[in-house]
Structure 1
Amino acid sequence: MRIVFAGTPEVALPTLEALHASAHEIVAVLTRPDARVGRGRKLSRSPVAAWADEHGIEVLTPAKPREPEFLDRLRELDVDVVPVVAYGALVPPAALEIPRLGWINLHFSLLPAWRGAAPVQHAVLAGDAMTGACVFQLEAGLDTGPIFGRLTEPIGPADTSGDLLERLSIAGALLTRDVVDALADGLLQAEPQPEDGVSLAPKLSVEDARVRWADPAFAVDRRIRAVTPAPGAWTEFDGARLRLGPVTVDPEGPALEPGEVAVSKRAVHVGTATDPVRLDQVQPAGKKPMDAAAWGRGLQTAKPSLV
């Protein structure tokens, strides 16, 4: 089949590579326009665009996929199907109608659970024991289309969103390839999503990533793992932002008030509403990540606390 692949970040690359290695032809990729990134605000291609450049594949970068020029080009390409992985823009009905088999989306949750932009982060934040991925028919609603295939993936007690997303992107790539193969052979029909079990997963903000030390230790742990690596957990120390890596709940640690810090030779503990947690890695403002114990030994505050 003739494919236009729609995606933007690095997590889309496993599916793009799997489809490129299949019997199908990727005639173009659709991705978000070049964006300014980093301190130097240098204009940068998306990972999907950079991959396509290396492989000599046409790159489509409309500001919005409803632009007439983009719709005309999509028609000219005579596309059978558009697989989507984290494209990052709403696809209008006018575009959805052009490919012969429509648009199919790889979504990293067990739909109808966690519809939205941040399904993996919300699954970790909620303490789910299991998640997965679905390939479904894209339609006007928010992740509401019928499902072609799904897979499951357990969430480990130490998994960050980054860990989980990496595994799901690899397994989901094979799922998407298999769905495209089956669609090409006319062997697959989508099944409607269940009406029960709907939950929403909006994008997590920087403020959502701020640690709430008055929460129980299990909730502090989940929040930090949910926002690792992005947007990144943080707290305030001495009026400045302190970024945090994953922590360990330590029932045997010292008794501390929420946010209170205890420093020993080998560890830094912080109090929560229940058990304390032990910090692993921290990053003070303007500095590189460092071992929490080394950071703690350099503190000069008599009674340090995090807020």
Structure 2
Amino acid sequence: MRLVFAGTPSAAVPTLHRLADEHDIVAVVTRPDAPLGRKRVLTPSPVAQAAAELGLPVIAAARLDDAVTEAIAELDAELGVIVAYGGLVREPLLSTPAKGWINLHFSMLPSWRGAAPVQRALIAGDAELGASVFQLVPALDAGDVFAARVVDVDEQATADAVLEVLSVEGAALTAEVVAAIADGTAVAVPQQGEPTLAPKLTLDDGLIDWTEPLSRVFARFRGVTPEPGAHTTIDGLRLKILEAAPSAGVDALEPGRIAATKSSLLIGTASDPLAVTRVQPAGKGAMKAVDWWRGQRGAEDLRVGA
């Protein structure tokens, strides 16, 4: 098929590669170069870089406006495929490819419609994670579903690692749907169940509440790592928690209370402690949690969350 592909982050790259192997991609739409790093160097998106390596034409656009619609209309594409582009597809672009657009979404729809499905699912402690491919419609992530797949992930994996697994599985799922659309056998069914929403995360979403039980604390840590980052406060300053895991076989601690072992800091919750191995204090670089703790005056009496 003649395809238009729209996507921006690294999670969209596996699908771009898979479809480029099997179809004729006439254009790749992605967000413009963005300033990255401390020096704010303008850098192409991961999808733009992949498209360049594949020799595919790129349309860089901050939003899918009339100019983008006209450019795509001239390409006579049969189908549009979108994976985490970062903008809405509206009419008349929605109907410009002959068969419309399909969307790979990293949740089991109708759960977690929106910008941060993996992160919100992890924060909520969902046992079931997966990906769905659906027909794009004007309403947010509400179209009929062609295919969905539950994906097994490590139960301690953070959002970035989960998204990496889902992006590969989702690429295969999308390729199956595109092939079915091409041969006329694809069937989409309405979404069933009560929708939940997954708005973009803010810095406040990363704040740990140590009065919650360990399961909830660790679920939030997984969902907000690496962005916007799990954090707590100590003496009014922010302490970012970079690496952590549930503790095993240790005594309970009062919420927020810290106890050190050779390899980690145990921080009390409403149930078992969280074992923290790597942190980043405000204004400093990442370091081992126990090294940070040893550098604190009166470390034995320190507690977080205050």
**Shared topology, TM-score over 0.5?**
yes
Q: Give the aligned length.
A: 304
Q: Verify the 8 A CA contact 1:254 1:262 in the aligned structure 2.
A: no
Which residue of structure 2 lines up, in the alignment, with residue 26 of structure 1?
A: 25
The residue type paired with residue 228 of structure 2 is P
Deviates more, 1:243-252 or 1:24-33: 243-252
Whether the 8 Å CA contact 2:207–2:231 is kept in 1: the answer is yes
Match for residue 111 of structure 1 among 87, 104, 109: 109
Task: Give, in whole Å, the separation in 2 of the partners of 1:254 and 1:239.
Answer: 27
Distance verdict in 2 for CA 1:264–1:159, change over 3 Å? closer
CA distance in 2, matches of 1:283, 1:262: 18
Deviation at residue 219 of structure 1 after TM alignment: 0.8
SS in 2 for 1:247: strand
**1:147 maps to what in 2?**
145
CA shift for structure 1 position 164: 1.3
Q: Deviations over 1:224-254 (max 9, x none)?
A: 0111121111112233321113423336434
Match status 1:78 vs 2:76: yes
Deviations 1:147-206 (A, max 9, x none): 111111135431211221111100110111111111111111211111x23111111111
Matched residues in 2 for 1:33 and 1:293: separation?
Answer: 41
Contact between 1:111 and 1:134, CA under 8 Å: does it hold in 2?
yes
Normalised to the residue count of structure 1, the TM-score between the two structures is: 0.94
Which residue among 108, 124, 130 is the counterpart of 1:132? 130
Give the conservation status (yes or no) of the 8 Å contact 1:3–1:80: yes
CA–CA distance in 1 between the matches of 2:263 and 2:182? Answer: 59
CA distance in 2, matches of 1:280, 1:251: 14
Question: Shift in Å at residue 218 of structure 1?
Answer: 1.2
Partner of 1:181: 179
Write the distance in 2 (CA, Å) between the matches of 1:44 and 1:117. 22
Distance 1:96 1:252, change over 3 A: same
Structure 2: state its 5+ residue gaps. none
Cα separation, 2, equivalents of 1:58 and 1:29: 6
CA contact (8 A) 1:109 1:119 kept: yes
Secondary structure of residue in 2 paired with 1:16: helix
The 3-state SS of whatever aligns with 1:84 is: strand
SS at match of 2:129: strand
The residue identity in structure 2 corresponding to 1:13 is V
Q: CA deviation at 1:216?
A: 1.4
- Distance in 2 (alpha carbons) for counterparts of 1:140 and 1:36: 31
TM superposition outliers: structure 1 runs of 4+ over 6 Å = none
Q: Deviation at 1:7?
A: 0.1
Given that residues 252 and 271 in structure 2 are in contact (C-alpha distance below 8 angstroms), is that contact kept between their aligned partners in structure 1?
no
1:87 partner amino acid: Y
Is 1:129–1:156's contact at 8 Å kept on the other side of the alignment? no
- Work out the percentage of aligned pairs sharing the same amino acid: 47
What is the SS of the residue equivalent to 2:64? coil
1:55 CA drift (Å): 2.5
Give the 5 Å matches for 1:1-307.
Answer: 1-22=1-22, 24-66=23-65, 68-194=66-192, 196-250=193-247, 252-302=249-299, 303-307=301-305
Q: Is the 8 A contact 2:122 2:219 kept in 1?
A: yes
Using the size of structure 2 for normalisation, the TM-score is: 0.94
Task: Indicate the larger mover: 252-261 or 31-40.
Answer: 252-261
Q: Using the alignment, how far apart are the partners of 2:133 and 2:205 within structure 1?
A: 28
Contact kept in structure 2, 1:263 and 1:297, CA below 8 Å: no
Where in structure 1 are there 5+ consecutive unaligned residues? Answer: none
Per mean C-alpha deviation after superposition, the further-off stretch among 155-164 and 145-154 is: 155-164
CA deviations on 1:20-70 (whole Å, 9 max, x unpaired) are: 111x1011101112222222122111111122122222111223212x221
Q: Distance in 1 between matches of 2:208 and 2:113?
A: 24
User: Tell me, what secondary structure is at the counterpart of 1:229?
Assistant: coil
Distance in 1 (alpha carbons) for counterparts of 2:249 and 2:157: 22
Contact 2:104 2:170 in 1 (8 A): yes
Residues of 2 paired with 1:183 and 1:171: CA distance? Answer: 19
Name the amino acid aligned to 2:104.
L
